[in-house]
A and B are shown apart, each in its own frame.
Chain A
Amino acid sequence: MDKAKKHEPLFHIAKRDSLPMYKSWAIRCAAILVALIVAGIITMLLTGENPLNVYSTMVKGAFGTSRRIWSLLQSLSMLLCISLAVTPAFKMRFWNIGAEGQVLIGGLATAACMILLGDKVPNALLIVVMIAASISAAAIWALIPAFFKAKFNTNETLFTLMMNYVAIQLVSYFEMLWENPKGSSNIGIINQSTHAGWLPTIGNFDYLLNIIVVFALTIFMYIYLKYSKHGYELSVVGESENTARYIGLNVKKVIMRTMLLSGAVCGIAGLLLVGGTNHTITTTTAGGRGFTAIMVSWLAKFNPIIMILTAFLITFMQAGAGEISTVFGLNESFSDILTGIILFFIIGCEFFINYKLQFRSSHKEVK
C-alpha cells in the first residue's frame, strides 16, 4: 500500500453523463423492490404480521372489488388532474405550490353556483355557469401570484403557498355562511333532493365522467407541452429566462399565460370534486392533493403520460394503506410509515440515476 492511496476517500460521488433508458428504469424497479423488502421487514418487526399478508391486503384494498377499482380510478384521476395542473408551471420553473388553494377556489365557485342558482335556472345552464365560474375563479386565483412575479419579481413559492391559507379561510367563511343546520359550520350535500348542479353521470358509473375528463386532459397536456408553440416557449423560459428574452419571447406574458392555464386546470379539478363527486365543499375538499401532485409531477419528470403511472403508484398505496388499518387494526400512521419508506426509496433512487458512486478500486481502473 502506498501513501497516496491512503488519502483517497473510500468512495466519491460523480455525475453520470446520461444513463440508457433501460438502465434507469432498472434502477427504479430495483428501488421499489428494495422498498417493499424494507417495508416488509419493518412490518414484521413492529407488528409481527406476515409482510406478504400486508402486501396482499394492500392489493385487495385497491383492487378487491369493482367498487374499489372505480374508487381507485376516481382518486387516481383527481390526483392526476391536479398534477397536470401544476406541471406547466413547474416546467417553466415557476414553483406553484398553491394548487391546493386553486382547487379550493374552483370548488368554492362551483358550490356558490349550486347554492345560489340551484333552483333559479335550468340545470343545463347552471352547469355551464358552474364550469365557467370554477375555471375562471381558479385561473384568476393563480394569475395573482403570476402577475406579481412578472411585474415585480416577487417570490412565487411563498406567494402561492400563502394563497392556500387565504383560500382555506375563505372556504371556512362560506361554510359558516351557508351552514346547515345553524351553528354547525357544515354545508352538507348541496341540493340533495333536487340534484341541481350535479354533474351528469354516464350510465350507472358515478365516476366515469371525471375519469374521461381527466384522461382527455392528460392527452391535451401531453400535446400542449410537447408539440405546441406555447409548450416550447414555457420550457425555454424554464431553462433560461435570459435565453428566452434573447430570442424575443415576452417572458412576462408566458409566465402569466402558463399560470392561467395551471389555475384553470385546478379549477376543473375543483369543479369535478364539488359538482361531480362530493356535492359539498369543506376545507379538506382538496385533501392535500395540491401538494401530493407536486411529487407526482416531479417523479414523472413532467411527462403527463408517465404521470398516470406515478399518480397510480401513490393512489394505490393510499388505498392499500387504508385497508391495512381496517384489516389489521393498525393505526393509519402505520400506513403513512409504509408510504414514507416506499417514497423514500423511489425519490432516493433518482440520485443513483443522476450520480454514481466511485469506489477507490474502481476509481483506479477509470484512471
Chain B
Amino acid sequence: MLNFPENVNEAVAGIQDGSTVMIGGFGNAGQPFELIDALMDCGAKDLTVVNNNAGQGDQGLALLIKEGRVKKMICSFPRQSDSWHFDAKYRAGEIELELVPQGNLAERIRAAGAGIGGFFTPTGYGTMLAEGKETRILDGRGQVFETPIHADVALIKALKADGKGNLVYRKTARNFGPIMAAAAKHTIVQVSGIVPTGGLDPEIIVTPGIYVNSIVKVA
C-alpha cells in the first residue's frame, strides 16, 4: 500500500540491521541525500549497499561508510579522487567490496525487478571480474553468467510523483532510479513535488506507481 510519510525520518524508520539497500544516483546526480541522512539517523547497521560509486566527499553515502554502517558495497566505481572514507575502510579491511562492471550492475538490478533468474553477457568475459563464474560460447562470443541483485529497500530520487506513486525524473538524475524501484521489496522515493492523481501525463511516466511504496517530499 502506497504511503506518503510526513518526513524522511518516518520514511526510513522500518529499515532493519543487515538489510540490502539500493541507493540511486550516479555521482551526485539523482543521489537521495535527504533519505541517506535519515538512514544515518535511524541507526541501521551491517548494511549491504548497492550504488554505482562508494560515496564522494563528506556527505551522503560517504558518511554512512565512514560511520561503519556499511559492511559491504556492491558497485562499479568505488575509487574516486574524493572517495577517502571508502578508501580508508577498504584498506583497513573493514568493508567488503563486490566490484561489478557498470552495465552488469544495471542489468543485474533490472533482472531482479523483472523476475529473471540470471543471464549471460559478453561484458567481462576473459577478465578477472569473471573469475569463478560460469561461461558459455553463445552466438560465437564468450559470455559470463550473472545473477540478479535483489534488495530489501531502495532509496531513490525523482522529480515528481502523483497520488498513485507514478514518477518522472529529471535529465541524467534518472540513472538507476527506475530499475532500483523495481528491484527492491520496499521502494522509498524522495521528490521535489507531489501532484494530484491525474496531474502527470500517463504517456510520460517513467516509473509506474506499482513499484513504489513510500513517497516523501523534500524541500
The judgment on whether A and B are partners is: no
